[in-house]
A and B are shown apart, each in its own frame.
Chain A
Amino acid sequence: MHQSEEEHLIDMINHIAMNNLSVGDELAVAQMIEGHIRKFWPRRMKALLCDYIARDGSELHPAALLAGTRLSEKGA
């Protein structure tokens, strides 16, 4: 069950999204995810996420994609 670093990262952020859907609408969930990532993810993973969104982003849950996009825009 080999997973690349990027695949693992996509799983992780989608997992965060799925566990926090009850926070509110998509923006509210995205804000929660963004806050979580800022607080707990290392610089390297934030950068990988931003790279992936710039390149593709299709595997991300919509709220996760929005969170990642906000991170990219504000600077991870």
Chain B
Amino acid sequence: MLQHFDPNKDYGTPAVQSDIQVTLEIDGIEISVPEGTSVLRAAALANINIPKLCATDNLEAFGSCRLCTVHIEGRRGAPASCTTPAEQGMRVSTQNDKLAKLRRNIMELYISDHPLDCLTCPANGDCELQDMAGAVGLREVRYGFDGHNHLDAPKDTSNPYFTFDASKCIVCSRCVRACEEVQGTFALTIDGRGFDSKVVAGQDESFFDSDCVSCGACVQACPTATLSENAIITLGQPEHSVVTTCAYCGVGCSFRAEMKGDQLVRMVPHKGGDANHGHSCVKGRFAFGYATHKDRIKAPMIRDSIDQPWREVSWEAAMAFAADRLTSIQKEYGRESIGGITSSRCTNEETYLVQKLIRTAFGNNNTDTCARVCHSPTGYGLKQTLGESAGTQTFDSVMKSDCVLVIGANPTDAHPVFGSLMRRRLREGASLIVADPRQIDLLKTPHLGASLHLPLRPGTNVAMINALAHVVITEGLEDTDFIAQRCDASAYLRWRDFIKQSCHAPEVVEGITGVPAADIREAARTFAKVPNAAIYYGLGVTEHSQGSTMVMGIANLALVTGNIGREGVGVNPLRGQNNVQGSCDMGSFPHELPGYQHVSDPIARGRFEAVWGVTLDDEPGLRIPNMFDAAIAGQFRALYVQGEDIAQSDPNTQHVEEALRSLDCLIVQDIFLNETAKFAHVLLPGSTFLEKNGTFTNAERRINRVRKVMPPVAGKEDWQVTMALSNALGYAMHYDHPSQIMDEIAQLAPSFAGVSYDKLELQGSLQWPCNDEFPDGSPIMHETHFPTPHGKGQFAITEFVPTTERATRRFPLLLTTGRILSQYNVGAQTRRTDNQRWHQEDVLELHPHDAEERGVKEGDWLGISSRAGRTVLRALISERMQPGVVYTTFHHPGSGANVITTNNSDWATNCPEYKVTAVQVEKVSQPSEWQQGFEANHGRQQRFLLDATDSVAKDNYASK
């Protein structure tokens, strides 16, 4: 990998950016470093490793252990090299008798109050204290071990993933500083003074009960065994590691999967990861146990109807069964009677193959992806305005932002590692504007500077964004140079006339959004006046009846203020799942071939036809909701779903279930018997990200390698399963490795033309477009022109049209749904880990006023009814909500959160309006009818699965 530094080495203090270089001499070696670099880091860069304990290169220098003292010519004493900046002409000695004695004395003091149990200590083999004792040549502890000490300090085992053993703490503060500087939670402090100093979580609580979010930064920072992963305590030190990419959210963190043979011991965030720079969250760091959970599907299974038990069969038999059914259905009902859904959790290569299978072997364009229900409006809206269906920045770009506008996103929960980076920038002084119905945690960032919350009513985003743009235009805050040089003039003039209208004035819009006009004006002024303003948005933007309009409104605001095309600015969609960007890039949508090339474009289609050897349909295929409608109408009869749980994640569950029940053949490829699989006829075992090779593309268009660290439980990686199905259907596919699939993608998708596995190995990661024009990729997009017909940004008219889903006398509250830190999406993975301890059930959050009006107390069972259905959840009374708005998550299938969401969707893309459902809430005493049915069917389908496993076990026994 091409690295300017070794990511596995600790350089002691962080890198410093400076245009000025200073040259100094350390132990006779001359070295030049950026001005501001510490002597400790300069020495490390020259491969001179000064002993250290309290210093590590992802934390600012602290200077407490004094182990890194050095001699500097012309200076008195022995300064700590971690806190001493390198200077021009400085001459440093890192070793002499005096320094050696000093360091030994320090270590002697440390060790006099440290257990001497190295051989049985979990950190044995990975302990900096042990290493330093060796480095300084410690041979005796003159003070003895009988004095007052901390050797009996208690262990805190409250966290399911790591243990805090206070007896081993040297109070170096690395954990405290990691919690502050890296994670930004400030959950840890040093309590007491002198000998009584100790690390405390929260208000002297257990780790589990404190504000700790279990990101693992403290465990990573600890130089001793004080904070140790429980896996290390149980299993011991790993013997090799493989760098790979997390399969949770769209941040796409790089991790070292640390292994013993094919057993995963721990996931350690990789310092060389371009998206995360060595940080992690509780999901990526710890919640990988699902990969080896007993519920994994380990063999292909088939059944004739969903009322029958499963039968385990060979891969060949399963493929023959599936192919026979698909072929028969097409023969009877026509070529367009079948389709498939690609996964935003699988790799680019796997997604590419599924859509290829559909367009070639199925012979139609009935392919869609779960991006349909999350970020399809991003694809539409950004293509219309900026010319490309993707975010414009790197994550690191936020560190140059002076104002951060967050709309309908909750980064600290849904994109935690980026949330921490954003918090770091906010602590440095960038101002924060949050447009969200809820008071999200970002607003409670410790040491936050100027901030403004615009708590708008659900469903009024477009009115809000128009009002912000109205203020920019009517107060003369637009960037006239940028508009003149970079934007289409006629589109701008049309939009300018539109947005100037008084109906968009904050004073008028206040009645729609509920946000005081003065706050909107202040937000617009702040955003427009700072040098660099950036917009970050999430599903609170897209999952609305006007999701696409809102995305275009966001692009308008960025264009009119000139906040596109450089670091610190931009339009940044925060993608929900690990490969939402990639699944869209890979041609999962029914109207687009890979690389966003429309199926009606004869030139593009011709290139695909030449490589794929078939004639392709030139008409768009069915979207997911269209598939459901057509299935209920009896015209759509078979569906292949890879790694997506539509029965739980899609809106109006009862409608989805009716559609799935209508199918003659449902093929589900997944790692578990998910909710969709309960309606399936063929169940194909999927592989986790640990069991395959490939690539994911994160929210910043960064293509990262996924590397196999253990064999797939059922013998096939997901791309191999799709290939086998295609071959069974008579369309030949043959790849020996996903790198060959990527080569084909590069051949056909212009923005991927320069991507290859060899280049990824060399560069570490690549941000598309990566081609002849941008051979090393494109960290920042649209720097000089937009990929639009004339290279100009296009303003779009964004009329506010209220959703039809409104609060009424019958349904007086508005429900909005979302996610939380510890669980991920439908929860299939995280529910099968100890993350379950933080969120064992979905609850309904409601404002105290709404609770009081209904006589609701915390923990009461509440029936939530909408025009789509009814479900029952426990009450959580919370001031984070505004009166009239209630909130829940959808991480547990039995909650039935989507039983109450409706068929309403975005006008352009059919992305469901999850964020606005009119509901009524009342106290009840039993689960809803749907929930009772769910429990009954769950039990029955589990028995069907167990029966299959049992029958195979008996068969195997009988054959011996």
Contacts and interface: CB of A to CB of B under 8 A. Distances in A.
A3 interface: yes
Contacts of A54: none
Interface in B758-817: 797, 799, 801
A24 B306 CA distance: 51
B655 interface: yes
Contact of B619 (A3, A8, A12, A43): A43
Given A1-B652, A19-B549, A23-B797, A42 B907 contact: no
Contact of B630 (A1, A5, A23): A5
Nearest to B633: A5
A22 B908 contact: no
Interface of B: 336, 365-366, 498, 545-546, 549, 590-591, 598, 600, 619-623, 625-626, 629-630, 632-633, 635, 652, 655, 797, 799, 801, 867-868, 902-903, 905, 907-910
Given A21-B799, A42-B590, A42-B626, A1 B902 contact: yes
B635 A44 contact: yes
Given A1-B868, A1-B902, A39 B635 contact: no
A19 B620 contact: no
Given A42-B365, A45-B622, 14 more contacts: A1-B655, A1-B868, A9-B629, A12-B907, A15-B545, A18-B907, A40-B591, A40-B908, A40-B909, A41-B620, A42-B366, A42-B623, A42-B626, A43-B336
A19 B377 CA distance: 14
Nearest to A18: B801
Interface of A: 1-5, 8-9, 12, 15-16, 18-23, 36, 38-45
B696 to A, nearest CB: 27
Contact of B910 (A4, A5, A12): A12
A19 B591 contact: no
Contacts of B902: 1
A55 B209 CA distance: 65
B462 to A, nearest CB: 9
Contacts of B366: 42
Nearest to B336: A44
A4 B634 CA distance: 12
A33 B754 CA distance: 37
B598 A39 contact: yes
27 contacts: A1-B655, A1-B903, A4-B633, A5-B630, A5-B632, A5-B633, A8-B629, A12-B905, A12-B907, A16-B908, A18-B801, A19-B799, A19-B801, A19-B907, A22-B498, A22-B799, A23-B797, A38-B600, A39-B598, A40-B591, A41-B620, A42-B365, A42-B590, A42-B622, A42-B623, A43-B336, A44-B630
Contacts of B623: 42
Contacts of A40: 591, 620, 908-909
A30 B31 CA distance: 69
A9 B635 CA distance: 15
A63 B366 CA distance: 28
Contacts of B620: 39-42
B655 A2 contact: yes
Nearest to B337: A44
Contacts of B619: 42-43
Contacts of A12: 905, 907, 910
Contacts of B905: 12
B953 to A, nearest CB: 43
A20 B619 CA distance: 24
A16 B909 CA distance: 10
Contacts of B867: 1
Nearest to A9: B629
Contact of A15 (B365, B625, B799, B907): B907
Contacts of B626: 42, 44-45
Contacts of B909: 40
Nearest to A45: B626
A17 B902 CA distance: 21
A39 B652 contact: no
B591 A39 contact: yes
**Residue in A1, A23, A41 with the greatest tally of chain B CB atoms within 10 Å:** A1
- Chain A interface mostly: helix
Contacts of A43: 336, 619
Secondary structure at chain B's binding surface: helix, strand, loop or mixed? loop
B907 A16 contact: yes
Given A19-B546, A41-B620, A43-B619, A36 B632 contact: no
A8 to B, nearest CB: 6
A63 B23 CA distance: 72
Contacts of A20: 799
A44 B591 CA distance: 14
B629 A5 contact: yes
Contacts of B365: 42
Nearest to B629: A5
A3 B801 contact: no
B135 to A, nearest CB: 65
A20 B600 CA distance: 24
Contacts of A18: 801, 907
A36 B336 CA distance: 21
Contacts of B598: 39
B620 to A, nearest CB: 5
Contact of A8 (B549, B590, B600, B903): B903
A9 B545 CA distance: 15
A39 B592 CA distance: 10
Contacts of A36: 908
A41 B626 CA distance: 9
A30 B655 CA distance: 31
A10 to B, nearest CB: 12
A22 B545 contact: no
A12 B336 CA distance: 21
A39 B868 CA distance: 30
Contact of A42 (B600, B621, B797): B621
Contacts of A45: 622, 626
Contacts of A1: 652, 655, 867-868, 902-903
A44 B623 CA distance: 11
Interface centre among A8, A18, A23 (most CB of B within 10 A): A8
Nearest to A38: B600
A71 B621 CA distance: 17
A45 B619 CA distance: 11
A4 B546 CA distance: 23
A19 B78 CA distance: 71
Given A5-B632, A5-B633, A12-B910, A44 B903 contact: no
Contacts of A9: 629
Contacts of B868: 1
A29 to B, nearest CB: 11
B816 to A, nearest CB: 19
Contact of A22 (B546, B797, B907): B797
* 3 cross-chain pairs, A with B, having the tightest CB-CB distances, nearest first: A5-B629, A19-B907, A15-B907
A23 B478 CA distance: 24
Contacts of A3: 903
A4 B628 CA distance: 11
A21 B907 CA distance: 13
Contacts of A44: 336, 622, 626, 630, 635
A37 to B, nearest CB: 10
A8 B910 CA distance: 11
Residue of A3, A38, A44 ringed by the most chain B CB atoms within 10 A: A44
Contacts of A4: 629, 633
Contacts of A8: 625, 629, 903
A58 to B, nearest CB: 19
A55 B629 CA distance: 20
A71 to B, nearest CB: 13
A73 to B, nearest CB: 18
Contacts of A5: 629-630, 632-633
Nearest to B618: A43
Contacts of B591: 39-40
Nearest to B366: A42
Nearest to B797: A22
Contacts of B633: 4-5
